[in-house]
Structure 1
Amino acid sequence: MKAVLNTFACIVLFLHSSFCVTSVPSKDYFDEELLLKPLPSGHIYAYFQFTTVWDVEFEVTSFHHCHLFPRALGEIVGHYNVQELHISLTGGLWRHETWGYPVHDAAPGAELWAWFKESTTSIDKTWKELAGALSGLLCASLNFIDSSNSLSPEFTFRPTGIVSSPAANSSYLRYATLPREIVCTENLTPWKKLLPCDAKKGLSTLLNAGHIHNTNYHSLGLHLRPVCRDVGCSQMSVELRQTVSLVYDMVILGNGNQDWSIKKLFGIGLSGACPLATMSNIYIDTTLNETGAHFQLSPTPPAIITSTRGGYESKFAVYDVKALDIDGMFNIAAFYSSSRVYGVNLPPVLYTNRYIIGYGQERGGIVTKLHNGHWKALDVVYLENIPWFMPLYLHTLKILANGQEIKPLILMDMTLTGQTINSYAYDGMLKELRKHFKPVRPHKNPAEMLLQHDKATHKFEDSGSHHKIWVDGVNPSTLQPQSSTFRSPLVSSRQGCYMQHKVSD
């Protein structure tokens, strides 16, 4: 018996020694941040950002042994040769004209787009398999994504991470949306399990399903990209950002009282930071204190920082959760000196309105208005995924700007999966649009696009044929001088960036 125990002890010692020899210290970092921003309309915008940066090469073998990075996602990314991945699950509609821009914009429903590595052989097959794997990971209906509802946009999307060549090949890009996707608790639970602390500690404990899905707008995001490890970009790191965007209506939540707090918004206080987090900060946007109703924060913020982005200066109160001496539950409250006094609503640089025209069950039309809130003309790229049940009449395309009709210079037809889909090469058209879209003052004369279509008949055996028609939103975007592929805090000081927002029908 003693010999058996000695043999067992040797085996255990051998296994322990082997694990210690083969294991390599992980150079990974995890940050958690929360931004609370009172909007001019009286709503409260809450934005969570959980960032995991892993100093490792973007290879398949790198995801076999993970520390802070979620292995379930890493195996999928490595197996399907993904270079960059973006997922969003959104309920509600973001009101750009009233609320401005969110930190991360997202289309209503489910949105998925990915860049594949150049070594990928069959992009369409890999794309469908990737969507199926992510469907199981997030308990979403992404398995309905295939080549029939996917695009390879040439102008709208560019890699947000580092690339091997300056000119990105759009043939390695796939983009798709599911506007009918309903976001609920079964998506939030697997999303939280990808966090290093799950929902047991840190800012993620505030993500209570009962206080998320009763908001005017809620969006879950998952963004993976390769970033530079140093200024010279001699080595690569993997960055994963998990985001949550929420908009609370204080008229309903506060029973007419403008005062708000963490406990009132999320139903619970904060017990402390995630022990695995390098940084755990809470930012309160106090910019509206200068133009709108003044509010006082309790407790007093330890620090105030200033951020310049897109030419606008913002002020933030900063709470370092790791440095706080929390006994029990920590709460931040905002008390207003006057009730129901809203700030000045500054229009965003670019926003879009869409509506349908026509009557009957045979024909209709879509009108899109592009509003330029900037002081000079903007180059705008317009992307729209037309479903099969909306056959277009390309000769009915009309573009009006400042009362003048603009004729597109290039028209193309693309054939996809046996169906002819009308598409536009907007490059030549936008060159003309730039000449005319020069507003004297903001919002005076928006550019208007009109396109007529037929209404195809659904077969009764088709899935969801008894529901109303759901059409993908549009993607207007414009380019400003600067952008960055380096890791940066939530409130960095930059003059401008690439702007894109999604508009639903």
Structure 2
Amino acid sequence: MKLEYLYWILPLVVHVIGTEFASSDEGTIAYSEHVTGSRNCLPEEQSDIIESSHLVQTSTLDTNQEEVDQSEPKTLPLSAKYDYDGKKYPNTEHLEIKPLQGGNILMSFNFEASRTTELYPSSKEITYYDVFPKALGSILKSTNTRELHLRFGHGWYDSDLNGKLVANGNLSGGTGVEIWAFIEANSEDEAFEYWVQLANSLSGLFCASFNSIDSAVTTKPEQLFQKESNIDTNSNLLGQLYHFRSALPREPICTENLTPFLKLLPTKGKQGISSLLSGNKMFNAEWTSMSIDILTNCEDGGVDNCTQSLKQAINLILNVPKVKDKNKYPIPKPTPGTELKCDPSRIHDLYNCFPLVESPDLDFTFLDLFGKVIRGGSLVASKPSTVCFDIDLNNWEIGHLSLQPPDQFYMDEKLCFSLLTSDEYNVSFKTHDSSKVNNIEQPPFRASRSLSGYSQESGGFRLDFFNPTEGDQVIVIFQALPWFVKLYTHSLVLTVTNKSGESVLLNVQNEELSEYIKEIVYHPAVDRVTPTHLELRILAPAKTKLKFTFSFDKSMLLYSEYPPDANHGFELEPVVFALIDKDHPDNVKYIMRTTTGLLTLPTPDFSMPYNVIILTLTIMSLTFGSIFNLLVKKVVTEEEAELAQSERPVEKLKQKFRTLFGRT
């Protein structure tokens, strides 16, 4: 028998032996049932749908457990249970789900891992990472990075529909990629070298364009993006901490960034809640944000007992009707006429149809949203994987369609259950009115940025801010602009509109401007060296609208400095607005970013050099040919040309051969 046949025969033998062994133990699910049974759900009569009335009561923990026990008893093998005699590592994972208005649903994936380390380990000591990703650990060690924050953003967040950002915006970034870090070094020049090395290393790790980060796109914030760890205050550092930040708004976010993100997890995206994630589903969402935060905290002011913590988060908003339509029609095409739902109160025939309003009914599962189910919990985590629902139980039904149902649902401010086994979990959602959701908290302020002007030489910025609350707010505005945008602070004009609708215009010459703008941090750009850096600390009165306008000039670029598709324009990174606690100026209560800006610059005709080259070469070839003929050739009569030709040695030799062989 050939060896390649063993590749097919051995798994069958193992499968048969496993089936016989499992079936011999009464009351245990057979291996064959786990493999050949329904991958996604049980038959409808066996699925255990938890009705909302069973979940609202605070004393339903025992009741729910009894109801689950009334079904056919099934126990898993000992190796599949969470409390097996295996080692647990310092990492946790949590999934939170919240329905929103408009058929949207928010999915928040949170992962945490940590390790104990020394800031200055000797070269002879072996470094143990456990579940902390070594790929990141070695980069942080080689660049002396003590704190690192990464943000990947894709799509558009509608705050009117979706309310406040998750975690008050602390886990969200603008469109593109954003990075800031605190690096320990003996001098700023040395720290900047580490910063460039860090960016280049992360570029290879996350398949992103961090390697394009240099001094021309790097800023040093003074009021925002401050340190979150205690390493500077509680540790005896050998050097100083230097703060750097940069953003690449043009960077597209795709599966190439998600794959290394998942590889940092202990489960590598193969088990636990991360097994739901896939690029083709995730980046078709209305809005997607990925974040990585690494903090270093030391105890008792020492450097030998420090904890390095890693927090990873993915937040995305899916529009359920769109996702289901794309599942039904992967290739977009018009809806067949037989499936159109027309308004019967209006004229409708083969050529006319007034569509009905979309039905508020929703019925979907994890399989519909992601094309897969949760492949059990993370069995190496220090705590069981949890899934929680921030949901209106009076209008929504949550059920499980799994081989092994959750042990129990429990109420801990939200409806939750733990993934205690390695089996697959699929959760169903059903409602007759998707507009009935839990209270959606609105953001504490509204802000936007827009461009004005149409000139190729100059333009303007407009920042709009509205405080809808009943109290005054302290806001910090952070804006970084490319070096080719020359911002003029003396052109600042502030328009204040109070709650009664009265407007007042203030410029830099008005003393009243200091009542609203408390502090200005401005670092002008240096051509091709540093960007424009502007920070404003303002006081926004209650129910007041503020409009800031600036003027700027556009610089000329070199031919080689234009990016591909230069006529598209240049992306400007979002403006950051942050609500600051009045009593604690370092405490950011809420932070958000505007959309990116698209700036057009004077763009040369890139085809002109090629046209000039072609025209020049054509003229040169024609001129060269004519001049060459005049220099090396002589104009003679036909008789003179024949006589000169007959006098050539070759012609004389030919004549001798003709005479010798009798030819004329």
* Whole-Å separation in 1 of the counterparts to 2:149 and 2:96: 21
Name the CA shift for 1:161/1:356 in 2 (closer, same or farther; >3 Å): same
Indicate the residue corresponding to 2:461 in structure 1.
366
Partner amino acid, structure 2, of 1:91: H
1:102 is the counterpart of 2:184: no
Shift of 1:288: 5.0
Indicate the residue corresponding to 1:10 in structure 2.
none
Indicate the residue corresponding to 1:376 in structure 2.
471
- Tell me the SS of whatever aligns to 1:274: coil
Shift of 1:251: 2.9
Name the CA shift for 1:202/1:119 in 2 (closer, same or farther; >3 Å): farther
Q: Which has the larger radius of gyration?
A: 2
Counterpart of 1:469 (choices 525, 550, 570) is: 570
Name the CA shift for 1:296/1:82 in 2 (closer, same or farther; >3 Å): same
Indicate the residue corresponding to 2:34 in structure 1.
none
Q: What pairs up with 1:13-412 in 2 under 5 angstroms? A: 28-59=89-120, 64-99=127-162, 100-103=164-167, 104-117=171-184, 119=186, 122-165=190-233, 172-227=242-297, 235-255=305-325, 257-286=361-390, 288=392, 294-299=395-400, 302-306=409-413, 316-322=414-420, 327=423, 329-339=424-434, 346-401=441-496, 402=498, 403-404=503-504, 405=506, 406=513
Contact 2:272/2:385 (<8 A) preserved: no
Identity %: 24
Name the CA shift for 1:27/1:150 in 2 (closer, same or farther; >3 Å): farther
Indicate the residue corresponding to 1:414 in structure 2.
523
* Whole-Å separation in 1 of the counterparts to 2:455 and 2:399: 57
* Whole-Å separation in 2 of the counterparts to 1:304 and 1:55: 34
Name the CA shift for 1:75/1:171 in 2 (closer, same or farther; >3 Å): closer
- Once the two structures are superposed, residues 334-391 of structure 1 have per-residue CA deviations (whole angstroms, 9 ceiling, x without a partner) of 2113255567654211331122222232332221112224331111111000112322
Contact 1:482/1:498 (<8 A) preserved: no
* Whole-Å separation in 2 of the counterparts to 1:136 and 1:216: 28
Contact 2:153/2:172 (<8 A) preserved: no
How many residue pairs align between the two structures? 442
* Whole-Å separation in 2 of the counterparts to 1:254 and 1:170: 53
1:456 is the counterpart of 2:555: yes
Contact 1:382/1:476 (<8 A) preserved: yes
- Tell me the SS of whatever aligns to 2:571: coil
- Tell me the SS of whatever aligns to 1:259: strand
Q: What residue ranges of structure 1 are gaps of 5+ in the alignment?
A: 1-25, 307-315, 486-495
Larger mean CA deviation between 79-88 and 38-47 belongs to 38-47
Shift of 1:423: 4.5
* Whole-Å separation in 2 of the counterparts to 1:184 and 1:218: 10
- Once the two structures are superposed, residues 142-185 of structure 1 have per-residue CA deviations (whole angstroms, 9 ceiling, x without a partner) of 0011111111010012112223329x999711000000001111
Contact 2:118/2:304 (<8 A) preserved: no
Shift of 1:206: 0.8
Larger mean CA deviation between 123-132 and 336-345 belongs to 336-345
Indicate the residue corresponding to 2:10 in structure 1.
none
- Once the two structures are superposed, residues 230-263 of structure 1 have per-residue CA deviations (whole angstroms, 9 ceiling, x without a partner) of 9x99953110011112110123124455333322
* Whole-Å separation in 2 of the counterparts to 1:203 and 1:110: 24
* Whole-Å separation in 2 of the counterparts to 1:207 and 1:197: 12
Shift of 1:77: 0.2
Contact 1:135/1:142 (<8 A) preserved: yes
User: TM (normalized to structure 2)?
Assistant: 0.61
RMSD across aligned C-alpha pairs, in angstroms? Answer: 3.3
- Tell me the SS of whatever aligns to 1:476: strand
